[in-house]
């Protein structure tokens, strides 16, 4: 399948398709007073349909128009089984019958010009935001230890039920069973009577799936509008009612939540803005903000002696490092680093260096590339998520997300 990206709000796909069958097609041929009957066997049809999917109304993507067309006339391949006299021995007749059957079979494959297809329930698509759920993740208490050596590396993921958007996450607190975050999040509410806030505490892992420490939910219908509520939640293995209760505690999560209904004509314009970011936590300087650097992943890294990459950040004399990923040319870290600043970093730069380290006596450290990022753009755009080509690397690239959070 080929998929094309265009400037229009549409999706174009080309599919290579093949049909096979044992049809019951008989062809009678007459020539010079002789008659023969030919049976078509082992029919194969090859076609390349192009499918274009386009919303009928771009701002209301519930119904789409599907246009199906064929790139070329279908190709037909088959065998012939002679049932009558050997008239096919006449020069050119066998090929003539083949071409005739191909045209007739190909013309039988007719495609509809357009189809109107419902993509989603219009009643759900028309649901508009009715408020914001302000969530402050304060801390966790006595989390269950997931790592055999050392403590856990916890972070919290927040999601609202009924939403297709990815959940929001706190920063990772390394080797800490009593982490403090004090991070604030705003989630858009559409159905306060039925939606619930799901909070899951994970143990971050540099390789493989992140382990779930525990979870809990908050029903929005239980919240009083415009009234902050401080809650200490017991972390559970799951929310299944038949789940056996474990005697060993998984820890507690302390959060503050407040449901803020919108007043008429008071819906913010940037609810769906992909560059919107969370507010800076309490204590952030009023004239400054919080610079958040998220090191996501790298690709096509190549060391001469070894490839055990980690990332080193240098900013205003401070040094931060990710964990090392062993023997991996395409590592993924997803680690957050925060820098509280007294003023916006308009003229500052962030130095990002990828390094491979090894326990070998020879060549224990090897640079894999670096990049210097000007931070002026992140102040004006609030959020940048890009892949940067690494200097001194043949094909290496690294994905860095930058956020500039302020208290206003």
Query: For 32-36, 134-138, 206-210, 238-242, which range has the lowest pLDDT when averaged over its residues?
Result: 32-36
Question: From the centroid of its chain, how far is CA 250?
Answer: 29
pLDDT the model gives residue 171: 84
* DSSP-derived secondary structure letter, 281: P
- Which tokens hold the place of 11? 């999706």
Residue 317's region, left for phi above 0, alpha for psi from -120 to 50, else beta, is left
* Most confidently predicted of 76-85, 88-97, 262-271, 315-324: 315-324
**Average model confidence (pLDDT) across the chain:** 81
Asked whether 277 and 157 are in contact (CB, 8 A), the reply is: no
Give the CA dihedral 262, 264, 269, 271, nearest 10 degrees: 30
Enter the CATH code of domain 131-261.
2.60.40.150
> Where is average pLDDT lowest: 24-33, 125-134, 392-401?
24-33
- Check residue 55 and give its pLDDT: 66
Task: List phi, psi (to 5°) of 354.
Answer: -100, 125
Residue 356 CB: number of other CB atoms within 10 A?
25
d(CA 371, CA 375): 13
- Span(s) in the chain for CATH 2.60.40.150: 131-261, 271-406
Give tens-digit pLDDT for 79-108: 666 665 555 556 666 677 777 777 776 666
Write out the two tokens for 56.
């009928």
Rounded distance, CA 97 to CA 27, Å?
8
- Cβ neighbours of residue 259 under 8 Å, at least 6 residues apart? 131, 132, 133, 134, 189, 192, 220, 223, 224, 225, 226
Whether 20 and 27 have beta carbons less than 8 Å apart is answered as no
Buried b (16+ CB within 10 A) or exposed e, 292-303: bbbbeebeebeb
User: Strands 309-315 and 349-357, how do they pair?
Assistant: antiparallel
| Cβ pair 397, 389 in contact under 8 A | yes
CATH, domain 271-406, list 2.60.40.420, 2.60.40.150, 3.40.630.30, 3.40.50.2300: 2.60.40.150
Cβ atoms < 10 Å from Cβ of 248: 5
The per-residue pLDDT for 294 is 93
Rounded Cα distance between 320 and 312, Å, is 6
For residue 319, the cross-strand partners are 314
- CA–CA dist 129, 134 (Å, integer): 14
What pLDDT digit, counting tens, does each position of 138-187 carry? 999 999 887 666 678 899 999 999 877 778 888 888 889 999 999 988 89
């Amino acid at each position: 399948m080929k998929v094309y990206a265009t400037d229009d709000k549409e999706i174009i796909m080309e599919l290579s398709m093949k049909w096979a069958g044992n049809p019951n097609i008989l062809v009678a041929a007459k020539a010079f007073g002789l008659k023969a009957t030919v049976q078509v066997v082992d029919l194969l049809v090859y076609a390349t349909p192009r499918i274009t999917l386009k919303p009928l109304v771009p701002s209301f993507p519930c119904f789409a128009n599907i246009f199906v067309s064929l790139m070329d006339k279908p190709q037909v391949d088959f065998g012939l089984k002679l049932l009558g006299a050997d008239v096919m021995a006449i020069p050119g007749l066998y090929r003539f019958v083949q071409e005739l059957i191909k045209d007739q079979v190909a013309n039988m494959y007719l495609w509809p010009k357009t189809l109107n297809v419902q993509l989603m329930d219009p009643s759900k698509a028309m649901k508009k935001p009715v408020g914001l759920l302000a969530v402050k993740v304060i801390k966790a208490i006595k989390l269950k230890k997931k790592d055999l050596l050392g403590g856990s590396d916890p972070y919290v993921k927040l999601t609202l039920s009924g939403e297709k958007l990815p959940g929001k996450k706190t920063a990772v607190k390394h080797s800490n069973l009593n982490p403090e975050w004090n991070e604030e999040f705003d989630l858009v509410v559409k159905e306060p009577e039925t939606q619930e806030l799901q909070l899951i505490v994970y143990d971050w892992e540099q390789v493989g799936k992140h382990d779930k420490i525990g979870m809990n939910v908050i029903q929005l219908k239980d919240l009083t509008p415009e009234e902050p509520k401080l809650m200490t939640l017991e972390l559970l293995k799951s929310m299944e009612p038949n789940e056996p209760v474990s005697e060993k505690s998984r820890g507690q999560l302390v959060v503050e939540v407040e449901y803020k209904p919108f007043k008429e004509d008071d819906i913010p314009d940037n609810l769906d803005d992909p560059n919107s970011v969370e507010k800076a936590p309490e204590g952030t300087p009023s004239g400054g903000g919080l610079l958040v650097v998220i090191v996501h992943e790298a690709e096509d890294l190549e060391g001469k002696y070894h490839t055990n990459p980690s990332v080193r950040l240098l900013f205003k004399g401070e040094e931060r490092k990710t964990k090392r990923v062993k023997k991996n040319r395409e590592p993924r870290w997803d680690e957050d680093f925060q820098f509280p600043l007294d003023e916006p970093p308009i003229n500052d730069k962030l130095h990002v260096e990828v390094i491979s380290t090894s326990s070998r006596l020879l060549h224990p450290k090897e640079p894999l590339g670096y990049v210097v990022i000007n931070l002026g753009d992140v102040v004006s755009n609030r959020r940048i998520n890009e892949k940067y080509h690494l200097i001194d690397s043949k094909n290496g690239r690294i994905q860095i997300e930058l956020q500039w959070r302020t208290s206003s």
